[in-house]
Amino acid sequence: MRRSSFLDTPPKLTGEIRRFCAAIAAAEPLFVKLVPFPGCEADSVANLPGQCARFGGTAVDGWRVVAWPRVMIQAERHMIWHSPKDEMIDVTPAGGGASTLFLPDPEAGAKPGPRRLPLVRDANLGRWIALAAEGREMDPEALRAFAEVVRARAKPTDPCHCGSGRQMRKCHPLR
């Protein structure tokens, strides 16, 4: 589950992202075209069987890699469409970008929940990641820890945490 609009497709593949991906799967991460198809919801695992039945092709299992610059990298289970024309396409609506960073991994379904890597030493971020790993992401304690991370790490020009797409200073300014 994506926790915040701070998490988005990284603009380029950095060494940190490559090392993070190598710890999850042997394949190389790749940027795939994002083309949300009509009728596709936010759950890629539910979207792809219908997509393949309608248009052919196959579903490719793996991880969608997102980053909160300077704070955290996260990989969430995701599936993309390998079209009959041999194109890799992400048909699931997500964010406003033109591409998705995808890490192919045929065993992603058997691996537990999202993977996260903090890029900063922050006790609240570590606590939130630990609580989220236990499935307690929405507990009051976890939400307080995440709010502290936002207060400490977010810039006024970052996208607002509510998901509106507006800058935080214009939507929900931190005081």
- Asked which of 118, 135, 151 is the last residue of a domain, the reply is 118
Q: Span 60-76, mean pLDDT?
A: 91
162 and 5 Cβ atoms separated by less than 8 Å: yes
Q: What is the pLDDT of residues 86-141, one digit of tens each?
A: 999 998 877 667 889 999 999 988 887 889 999 999 999 999 899 988 888 888 99
Q: Is residue 155 part of a domain?
A: yes
Which pTM value belongs to this model? 0.82
Which residues in 121-160 are b (16+ Cβ under 10 Å) and which e?
ebebbebbbebbeeeebeeeebeebbebbbeebbeeebbb
The answer to whether residues 42 and 103 belong to one domain is yes
The answer to whether residues 19 and 79 belong to one domain is yes
- Asked which of 118, 134, 163 is the last residue of a domain, the reply is 118
The answer to whether residues 46 and 104 belong to one domain is yes
pLDDT value at residue 84: 94
pLDDT value at residue 1: 35
Q: Is residue 5 part of a domain?
A: no
Q: Is residue 6 part of a domain?
A: no
The answer to whether residues 150 and 132 belong to one domain is yes
The number of residues making up the chain comes to 175
3-state secondary structure 21-62: HHHHCCCCCEEEEECCCCCCCCCHHHHHHHHHHHHCCEEEEE
The answer to whether residues 148 and 162 belong to one domain is yes
Residue 74 confidence (pLDDT) above 60: yes
pLDDT value at residue 2: 38
**Parent domain of 158:** 123-171
Total domains, the chain: 2
Q: Is residue 128 part of a domain?
A: yes
- Asked which of 76, 101, 118 is the last residue of a domain, the reply is 118
Q: Is residue 3 part of a domain?
A: no
Phi then psi for residue 77, to 5 deg, are: -60, 140
Q: What is the pLDDT of residues 153-175, one digit of tens each?
A: 878 887 776 767 788 788 877 66
Residue matched to tokens 């994506």:
2
The answer to whether residues 143 and 109 belong to one domain is no
Residue 45 confidence (pLDDT) above 90: no
Query: What rounded mean pLDDT belongs to the chain?
Result: 86
Q: Which two tokens stand for residue 51?
A: 């997509």
The answer to whether residues 82 and 131 belong to one domain is no
101 and 9 Cβ atoms separated by less than 8 Å: yes
